[in-house]
Amino acid sequence: MKSFRKELWFQTPTRRAFVNITPQVDEALRESGIREGLILVNAMHISASVFINDDEAGLHHDFEVFLEKLAPHAPISQYQHNETGEDNADAHIKRQIMGREVVVAVTEGKMDFGPWEQIFYGEFDGRRRKRVLVKIIGE
């Protein structure tokens, strides 16, 4: 069994953003040389997500509206977590809805995807350097 590890770094200019990271994960897979196995891609921060969905700007707007309605950022005083001096309780909740991680099959050296699957980094408390972990096991 082989294993491979790589960190991807992000600093989004806005508090919230969706970034298509499929090319970076593809590159990590090529570097690994692994042909059959599993890829884990996870946010290493608890106010960010990794998820798979469509690379369509309108849908990303719809996700933003949906998440902000479910767990609004303001007023920040509505969350006990923010009494610690933070203002990101909503980001922890939004990340929980969108998920921490995806696991992707590797078949014949490629990510085994349906026609529209793309991997996104979902940032809910940005404007600082944060990481995603790519771990690949297989052979």
Q: Which of 8, 28, 32, 51 binds its own copies (CB under 8 A)?
A: 51
Q: Which of 9, 20, 30, 59 binds its own copies (CB under 8 A)?
A: 59
Site stretch for its own copies (CB under 8 A), options 12-20, 21-29, 79-87: 79-87
User: What type of residue is 89?
Assistant: A
The Cα–Cα gap between 116 and 19 comes to 15
Q: Which of 28, 93, 123, 126 binds its own copies (CB under 8 A)?
A: 93
User: Cβ closer to its own copies: 107 or 127?
Assistant: 107
The Cα–Cα gap between 49 and 28 comes to 19
Is residue 6 at the binding interface for its own copies, with CB under 8 A as the rule? Answer: no
The Cα–Cα gap between 83 and 113 comes to 43
Rg of the chain, C-alpha, whole Å: 16
Distance of closest approach, residue 106 Cβ to its own copies, in angstroms: 8
Is residue 40 at the binding interface for its own copies, with CB under 8 A as the rule? Answer: yes
> Taking each helix axis from N to C terminus, what angle separates 89-98 and 57-70, rounded to the nearest 10 degrees?
120
Q: Which of 9, 103, 110, 127 binds its own copies (CB under 8 A)?
A: 103
User: What type of residue is 48?
Assistant: A
